[in-house]
Amino acid sequence: MKNKKIQDLQIFLTRTPGEQAFKYEGLPSFAISGEAQQNFRNIPTEPYFGERSTNVTQATTYIAVANSSVVETIQFPFSPQHVLDMTRLLEFNEVRLIDCMEFGTQLFNCTIHGSIRDLFRILSNQSETLRLTIATSIPELAILPWEMMCDTKSDSYPKFLCFQPSIRFCRALHLFDRAKFKLKKALGDNQKIRILLVTSDPKNMHSLNFNKEEKLLKFVINESPTLDKSIQLEVIHNANTNILREKLLSFRPHILHLSCHGGYDKKENLGVIVLESPNNPREPDYVNSYRLTSIIQEPGSVQLAFISTCYGAKSDHLSSAFSGVAQLLHASGVNDVIALTFSVLDTTGHAILANFYKYLLRYGLTVEESISQVRKFLFINDYRLAESFGLTLYQGNASLYRKDTEQELTEEKAGREFDKTVQDIEASIASQDIFEMKVAEILGLDKIENDLKRLNLSNLETLLAVQVIGDIKTSVDILLEIKRLEIDIQVFLQITEIAKKLCLQTNERRSISTAFVLKKDYSEPDHYTANRHNIIKNLQNLFFQGTIKEIIQDASTVNGKDTAFMIILNIDKTFKSYIQKLEQIQIEEINHKKNLLNSKWNNICSLINKDPGVSLILPGNQRVKLIIQGEQISEFCNGEWKSSNFKNFREEIQRYSQDLNLDEDFMLDVLRKCICISDMGKGLIFIIQRENNLFDKCDLYDDRNEDLKNKKITEFESEPYLARTANLDGAIILSKDGFTLGIAAKLKPESDTIVQGIPGTGTRHLNTQKITKETDSIAFVVSEDGPITVFYQGEVKFRTP
C-alpha cells in the first residue's frame, strides 16, 4: 500500500565541471558596464545546444543532480532553431498537441534518465503525490518549456507530467535544502490573509476587463461565510508606482495579484508590466522587473505573487535567467510566484483567477496543488496550449496553504470538469433569480443595462454570446448591430462560432480563406429565387448538423472573392444556406466610400451594402473579420475578438492628415495597404518623408522598381503593389505626394536617440520610432502578429488592437 506522504524530487541542472560560466551571468544588462558589458552583448541572443564555438561559453553537456544524491550527465537533443520554433509555435497558437508530445518526450528522456529515472519511478511508487521541481539559473535551460515534459512509460500512453493528478510541477532558480522544506506553511498571519488585487489599464492602450476579475474574486470570498471572516481583500484600480508602493506599505498584503498589460523589453533584457504614468493617467509607464521587485519586496510581507499579465515569466535567452518579472521576484525572496510565459487572453485570465482562488481558499489546497488543478482545467477545456503549458510556478522552500479550510476537495470534486463560463462557477446557487442577479453582477451588466434592454436578451443568453465572442462589452456592441439588421442572434452566434473554428483549421497545410454572408430576405421574389442562376450548391443543414471536416471541404472551393457561403433568413424564421457565385461590381463603388478592406472583398461588401447584411470574412492567418454593411467593426485575431472598427481608424487617419497637411486619400491608402499586409501575417514599414532630411538616415535600394516612382501609391491595388515591395527587408519610403521614393531602405537612426519603446516589439519598431523623432516624417509599422502602429516625432500616435 502506498505511503500517503508527499515525496519530493528536485532536479538541479548546472554546467559540467570545468565549463566556465559567463562571469556576469544573472545580472540585468544595465548592471554591467565597460568591457564586461561589451562581452555581455556579444553573447548570442538565442539558446545554444549545438557544437561549441570558441566565442560561446555554453556547453553541449550539463549535470543533473537529483535530491543532492543522484548525478547524471545530460545532453539536449534540440538545435537552437528547434527551441525557437517550438516557442514561436506556442506563442502564436499554431503548435499541434502531437508536436508538444514529441518535444516533451525528448525533454523528459534526456533529463530524467539513468539513475535519475530510477529514483523518479521509486518515489512515484512510494507516494500518491510527487512534487517535482526543476531548479536552474542557466539561461539557456531556464527558457525551455519544462511544463511540457511527457512521460512515455512502456506500459502506458504518453502523459504530460504537469497534468497528472499525482504530480505537482514547480520551478526554482537555485538548489534548496529539502531537509528544511516546510510541507505546510500557512498563508497570512494569526489574524487574516490579506490579499491585494492591483489593476492598471492606461487609456491609450487596448482596454482589458479588470472589473470582472474583482467581482470573481469577491464572489469566491464573499459566498463562503468562513472565508469572509478570514480573508481581507483590498483592490486598487488605475495603479501607478506611487499608489502601489503606498498601498503595499500600509496594507502589507500576503498575496499580491497583479492584473495589467505585460511584455518584455528586448533592449534592456528585462520583463515589464504596464502601470499608469504618475504624471499622466492616459499614458503607460513600462515598469521593468527590477523596479517592480524593488517596490514589492519593500514591505517584506508578500508570500505569494500572482503576475496575471502577458509574458510575466519570460526571460532572456542567454543573458540572464533573472531578467523576467517572475524570476526576479522569486529571487528577491517571494516564496511563490505564478506567471505566464506567453501571452494570455483576457477571458483566460478570468478563468485562471476564479479557479485558482477557489482551490486555494475554499478547498485549502496548497499553491502547487491549486496550480495543478488550473493547468488541468485549461487543458481539459481546450484553452490555448500556450496558456496550459505556459502557466508557471516558481516555488521556494515551503508549501503554502490556507489553514482552517471551508471543505476538503474530494477525488470526485478534483476530477470534475469545470465549465469555462461564470455559469458553472456559480452552479451552487439554487434560485434562478439569484443566479441571474449574480451573473449580471459579475458580468457588469448594470453598466450596459439600457443596451441589454434594447437587445431583449436574458442574462443567460448574454452568457452564450460571451462564450462565443468573449468580452461582454464587445459582445453587446456586436449584438446591437445584429439586432438593428433584424438578423436572428442565435443563428449569427452559430455561424460566428463556425467561422472561429474554421479559421484555426488548415487545408493541405494552408490556412483557410473564405467568406460567410448572413442576411434577412423578406423580398418578392426572394434572394434565393432571384439568384438561382448563380447558386453553385445547396448546403441544407451543413452549418447546424455537419462536421467541421465537411465544412472545410466546401470552404476549399469558396474563396470569398467570387464565391461565398450564403445564409438567408426568411420571414417565417426558416433559412436557406448555399454557395453562391458573386456578381462582379465596379471597384469605384467601394473606393468612394474610403473602405479600408482589401479590394478582393469588394463583391462581398457590395452584396451587403445593397441589401443590409453581415459578413464574416476569413482572410487567412487565423483571423475572422466581421463586416456589417460594408464596414469592419470587429476582428477575431490571436484567439480573441477585439474591437477593430475601421470607421474609427479612418477618422483617426483623417485627423492626422489634416494636422500634418497630407492628402487624406493618400494616407488612407497607406493604411489600407498596411491592413492588407497585416492580414497576410507579414511585417512592413512605410515612412512618409515631409522634409528632405530622411535620406541621410537610411540606405535606399530601388534599382528594380524605378517604374514605381512614376505613379502615386494610390494608383496601385494593394496586393500587386505589396507583391513587388513587401518581400524585401527594410522600409518603403514615400514622398508626401504619395510617390514611392525607395524600397528595402535600411534605417540608420542615432544610437543615443531615446524613445519610449513598445514592450514586446523589436528593432523594426524601435528604429522606425527613432527615425520619426530625428526627422520630420510619419511612419506606419505593421507587426507580423497584426497590430499597426503610427509613429510621429518619436511617439505612438495610433495603434490598432
Q: Is the pTM of this model over 0.75?
A: no
> How many CB atoms are closer than 10 A to CB 711?
13
pLDDT digits (tens, 9 = 90+) for 658-678: 888 888 889 998 998 888 888
Band of pLDDT at residue 701, cut at 50, 70 and 90: low
> pLDDT tens for residues 681-696?
888 899 998 877 777 7
Of the candidates 722, 142, 688, the one whose C-alpha atom is nearest the C-alpha of residue 392 is 142
338-361 pLDDT tens trace: 999 988 888 889 889 999 998 998
DSSP 687-741: EEESSTTSGGGEEEE-GGGGGGGGSBGGGS-HHHHHHHHTTSSSEEEEETTSBEE
144 and 210: one domain? no
pLDDT at 52 exceeding the cut of 70: no
pLDDT at position 798 is 83
Domain boundary among 180, 200, 228: 180
Which pLDDT belongs to residue 463?
Answer: 63
Asked if residue 287 is part of any domain, the answer here is: yes
Residue 294's pLDDT band (boundaries 50, 70, 90)?
very high
Structural domain range at position 764: 648-799
Of 376-380, 444-448, 557-561, 657-661, the least confident: 444-448
- In three-state secondary structure terms, 335 is coil
- pLDDT, greater one: 436 or 790: 790
Residues 76 and 148 in one domain: yes
Please check whether residue 451 lies inside any domain of the structure: no
Strands across the sheet containing 684-689: 698-701, 740-747, 731-735, 684-689, 777-782, 788-792, 795-799
Domain presence at residue 461: no
Residues 144 and 264 in one domain: no
Residues 132 and 45 grouped into a single domain:
yes
Q: Write the CB contacts of 573 (distance below 8 Å, at least 6 apart in sequence).
A: 488
Residue 427 lies in a domain: no
Structure confidence at residue 24 as a pLDDT band (50, 70, 90)? very low
Give the DSSP H or E segment for 224: none
Q: What is the per-residue DSSP string for 35-54?
A: HHHHHHHTS-SS---SS--T
* Residue 387: C-alpha distances to residues 134, 213, 587, 639 (Å): 19, 18, 43, 11
The count of domains in the chain is 4
Q: Do 420 and 381 meet the contact criterion of CB atoms below 8 Å apart?
A: yes
188 and 155 in a common domain: no
Residue whose C-alpha is closest to residue 648's, from 484, 756, 487, 788: 788
The pLDDT assigned to 657 comes to 87
Give the DSSP H or E segment for 323.
none
Average pLDDT score over the chain: 79
450 domain residue, yes or no:
no
Task: Give me the phi and psi of 136, to 5 degrees please.
Answer: -165, 150
List, for residues 443-453, the tens digit of each pLDDT value. 454 555 555 55
Q: What is the pLDDT of residue 454?
A: 60
Same domain, 138 and 208: no
Whether 422 is in a domain gets the answer no
User: Where is the domain boundary, 417, 440, 470?
Assistant: 417
My answer on whether 194 and 173 are in the same domain is no
pLDDT band of residue 643 (cuts 50, 70, 90) is: confident
Helix (H, G, I), strand (E, B) or coil at 90: helix
Please write the tens of the pLDDT for every residue from 186-238: 898 877 899 999 999 887 777 777 778 888 888 888 766 556 678 899 999 99
Residues 638 and 660 in one domain: no
pLDDT at res. 246? 95
Average pLDDT over every residue of 139-146 = 88
Q: What percent of the chain has pLDDT over 90?
A: 23
Q: What is the pLDDT of residues 397-409, one digit of tens each?
A: 888 888 764 444 4
3-state secondary structure of 98: helix
In a 3-state reduction of DSSP, which class is residue 536? strand
Residue 468 lies in a domain: no
Q: Give dist(CA 260, CA 239) in Å, integer.
A: 10
- Choose one of 643, 670, 686: the last residue of a domain: 643
pLDDT higher than threshold 80 for residue 551: yes
Q: Which residue has the higher pLDDT, 416 or 180?
A: 180
CATH code at position 324: 3.40.50.1460
**pLDDT at residue 207, rounded to an integer:** 73
Q: Is residue 532 part of a domain?
A: yes
**Same domain for 582 and 667?**
no
Banded pLDDT at 247 (limits 50, 70, 90): very high
Q: Are residues 218 and 303 in the same domain?
A: yes
Which segments of 541-653 are extended strands (E)? 563-569, 575-581, 614-618, 624-628, 631-637, 640-643
Measured CA to CA in angstroms, residue 471 lies from 2, 9, 93, 162 at distances of 47, 41, 20, 29
Find, among 235, 127, 143, the residue nearest to 183 by Cα: 127
Q: Quick one: 256 and 159 in the same domain?
A: no
Burial class (CB in 10 A: 0-12, 13-18, 19+), 694: buried
Per-residue cell: 608: 451587403
